[in-house]
């Protein structure tokens, strides 16, 4: 789950990290009221789950109320990399002496937590990493030991920050690590972390991704799930408990298992078709799951043919076949369906489907043939 900047800052604040006072606003009037309470100058910041907001005009400094009105009006409704701005974060403006970068994430190769700190903050850290990797100070933290005071100090010293920032940065490093681990985050990033002219270290931006698997011990994360930006179909699939990702092709895909679903997309592309989606229905393929999946696919106007690719493991072919037939009774399907059913009791399953086959329900024995058939049908 990705958090908006302001949600990330409020998350950081729970762990004691210094953030600026601010308020969420959905309209120009709310933005003005927030600025009135906070006192100008303020920053008017678009809240979207995309990077590079500043360059695209999504973050503006407002010296007075007129500027707040102007910027809030311009930013609301702005399209930032496909995300339409619906909410703003109005924040008390800060004076900046220096900008740093600090983050924690999991290093999957090292199987340890990776901390990155750089005196070159404020810009794209991937650019810094690519062009001047020596300017990023890295530490690998063993999750069993955690981030000790010594390690935090050593890390900050290696980053060559302004000496004035040392104590504050060490403190925030420890707080950020605690937020990252106790909060079950996949990523906690501050860019920029600033040093003010008064010598204070302060969090000016946040990028936080939380691990959805940890919700059982963080019931409050439900609130973030509600603000995730999904398109309509992704939302509908999510509500049915299906793993769905929308794409722009014309062959609707239903498969069991993430690997097989990805493989199905590959094969469709290889035979010259284009998949409309990724949809993993998981291990089972009963009528309920199958109807839900068919409804989601059928609602996609781009879909011209549907490829159901099921490999029966523990789930037997007969169950899969009956599930498909039952689902087809429940959902009115507009596009022809091509089924490939293989694995456990595939023969029995195919025998059940055989009498039902027509020009709206077809069957192929291999993944490649089924992909070809579905792609041809989609091409018209």
Partner 1 sequence: MAIFVDENTKVIYQGLTGRQGSYYGGLNKEYGTQVVAGTHPKKAGTDVDGVPIYASVAEAVEATGATASCIFIPAPGVKDAVMEAAEGGIEFIVAITEGVPAHDEAWFYNKLKRDFPNVQLLGPNCPGIISPGKCNIGITAGHIAKPGGPVGIVSRSGTLTYQALYELQQKDIGVTTCVGIGGDPVPGTSFIDCLAAFEADPETKAIMMIGEIGGSAEEEAAEFIKHNVTKPVSSYVAGVTAPPGKKMGHAGAIVSGGKGTADAKMEALRDAGVKVGQNPTEAGELMAEIVASL
Residue from 131, 226, 301, 314 in contact with partner 1 (CB under 8 A): 314
Residue from 255, 290, 296, 361 in contact with partner 1 (CB under 8 A): 255
Residue from 74, 238, 368, 376 in contact with partner 1 (CB under 8 A): 368
Q: Kindly give, in sequence order, each residue whose CB lies less than 8 Å from that of residue 105, ignoring residues fewer than 6 positions away.
A: 113, 114, 116, 186, 187, 188, 189
Q: Which of 189, 318, 319, 364 is catalytic?
A: 189
Residue from 16, 54, 143, 197 in contact with partner 1 (CB under 8 A): 143
Decide if residue 312 touches partner 1 (CB under 8 A): yes
Q: Tell me if 230 sits within 8 A of 238, measured CB to CB.
A: yes
The count of other CB atoms within 10 Å of the CB of residue 290 is 25
Q: Tell me if 202 sits within 8 A of 102, measured CB to CB.
A: no
**Least distance in angstroms from the C-beta of 314 to partner 1:** 5
Decide if residue 236 touches partner 1 (CB under 8 A): no
Decide if residue 348 touches partner 1 (CB under 8 A): no
Residue from 84, 258, 351, 357 in contact with partner 1 (CB under 8 A): 258
* Of 346, 339, 281, residue with least CA distance to 312: 346
Residue from 269, 286, 298, 302 in contact with partner 1 (CB under 8 A): 269
Measured from the CB atom, the residue of 31 and 281 that comes closer to partner 1 is 281
Decide if residue 22 touches partner 1 (CB under 8 A): no
Measured from the CB atom, the residue of 299 and 369 that comes closer to partner 1 is 369
Residue from 263, 286, 298, 302 in contact with partner 1 (CB under 8 A): 263
Segment interacting with partner 1, rule: CB under 8 A, options 35-43, 66-74, 153-161, 306-314: 306-314
- What are the residues facing 280 on neighbouring strands? 243, 255
Which x/- pattern over 169-198 shows residues binding partner 1 (rule: CB under 8 A)?
A: ------------x--x-x------------
Q: Tell me if 80 sits within 8 A of 50, measured CB to CB.
A: yes
Q: Tell me if 12 sits within 8 A of 81, measured CB to CB.
A: no
The count of other CB atoms within 10 Å of the CB of residue 332 is 9
The count of other CB atoms within 10 Å of the CB of residue 137 is 20
**Least distance in angstroms from the C-beta of 9 to partner 1:** 21
User: Known catalytic residue: 235?
Assistant: no
The span from the CA of 350 to the CA of 74, in Å, is: 59
User: Known catalytic residue: 177?
Assistant: no
Segment interacting with partner 1, rule: CB under 8 A, options 71-79, 163-171, 294-302, 340-348: 340-348
**Which value, to the nearest 10 degrees, does the dihedral of the CA atoms of residues 155, 161, 164, 165 take?**
-60
Q: Kindly give, in sequence order, each residue whose CB lies less than 8 Å from that of residue 55, ignoring residues fewer than 6 positions away.
A: none
* Of 69, 15, 17, 18, residue with least CA distance to 42: 69
Q: Which of 6, 23, 98, 101 is catalytic?
A: 101
Q: Tell me if 53 sits within 8 A of 70, measured CB to CB.
A: no
Which x/- pattern over 104-133 shows residues binding partner 1 (rule: CB under 8 A)?
A: --x-xx-xxx------------x-------
Q: Environment class of residue 61 by beta-carbon count within 10 Å: exposed (0-12), middle (13-18) or buried (19+)?
A: exposed
Residue from 147, 267, 308, 324 in contact with partner 1 (CB under 8 A): 267
Q: Tell me if 217 sits within 8 A of 35, measured CB to CB.
A: no
* Of 107, 118, 100, 83, residue with least CA distance to 187: 107
Decide if residue 270 touches partner 1 (CB under 8 A): yes
Q: Tell me if 195 sits within 8 A of 189, measured CB to CB.
A: no
**Least distance in angstroms from the C-beta of 16 to partner 1:** 20
Q: Are strands 251-255 and 305-312 parallel, antiparallel or unpaired?
A: parallel
Decide if residue 220 touches partner 1 (CB under 8 A): no
Decide if residue 332 touches partner 1 (CB under 8 A): no
- The footprint of partner 1 (CB under 8 A) covers 106, 108-109, 111-113, 126, 142-144, 181, 184, 186, 211, 213-214, 216-217, 243, 245, 247, 255-263, 265-270, 275, 278, 280, 283, 311-314, 342-344, 366-368
Residues forming the active site: 101, 189
């Amino acid at each position: 789950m990705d958090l908006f900047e302001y949600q990330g800052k409020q998350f950081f604040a729970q762990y004691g990290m210094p953030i600026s006072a601010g308020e969420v606003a959905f309209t120009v009037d709310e933005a003005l009221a927030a600025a009135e309470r906070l006192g100008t100058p303020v920053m008017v910041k678009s809240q979207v789950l995309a990077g590079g907001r500043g360059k695209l005009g999504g973050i503006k400094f407002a010296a007075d109320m007129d500027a707040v009105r102007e910027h809030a009006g311009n930013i609301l409704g702005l399209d930032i990399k496909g995300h339409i701005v619906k909410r703003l974060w109005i924040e008390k403006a800060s004076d900046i002496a220096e900008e740093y970068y600090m983050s924690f994430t999991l290093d999957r190769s090292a199987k340890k937590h990776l901390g990155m700190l750089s005196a070159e903050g404020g810009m794209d850290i991937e650019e810094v990493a690519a062009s001047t990797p020596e300017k990023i100070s890295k530490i690998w933290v063993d999750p069993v030991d955690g981030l000790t005071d010594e390690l935090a100090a050593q890390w900050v010293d290696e980053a060559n920050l302004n000496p004035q920032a040392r104590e504050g940065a060490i403190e925030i490093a420890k707080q950020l690590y605690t937020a990252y681990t106790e909060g079950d985050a996949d990523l906690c990033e501050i860019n920029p972390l600033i040093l003010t002219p008064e010598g204070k270290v302060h969090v000016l931006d946040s990028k936080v991704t939380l691990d959805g698997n940890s919700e059982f011990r963080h019931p409050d994360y439900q609130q973030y799930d509600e603000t995730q930006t999904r398109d309509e179909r992704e939302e509908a699939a999510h509500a049915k408990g299906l793993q769905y990702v929308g794409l722009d092709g014309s062959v609707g895909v239903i498969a069991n298992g993430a690997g097989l679903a990805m493989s199905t997309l590959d094969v469709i592309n290889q035979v010259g078709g284009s998949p409309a989606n990724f949809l993993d229905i998981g291990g089972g393929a009963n009528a309920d799951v199958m109807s839900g999946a068919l409804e989601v696919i059928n609602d996609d106007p781009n879909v011209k043919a549907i490829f159901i690719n099921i490999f029966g493991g523990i789930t037997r072919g007969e169950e899969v076949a009956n599930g498909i037939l039952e689902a087809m009774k429940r959902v009115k399907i507009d596009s022809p369906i091509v089924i490939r059913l293989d694995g456990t009791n595939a023969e029995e399953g195919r025998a059940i489907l055989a009498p039902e086959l027509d020009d709206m329900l077809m069957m192929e024995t291999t993944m490649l043939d089924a992909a070809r058939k579905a792609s041809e049908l989609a091409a018209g």
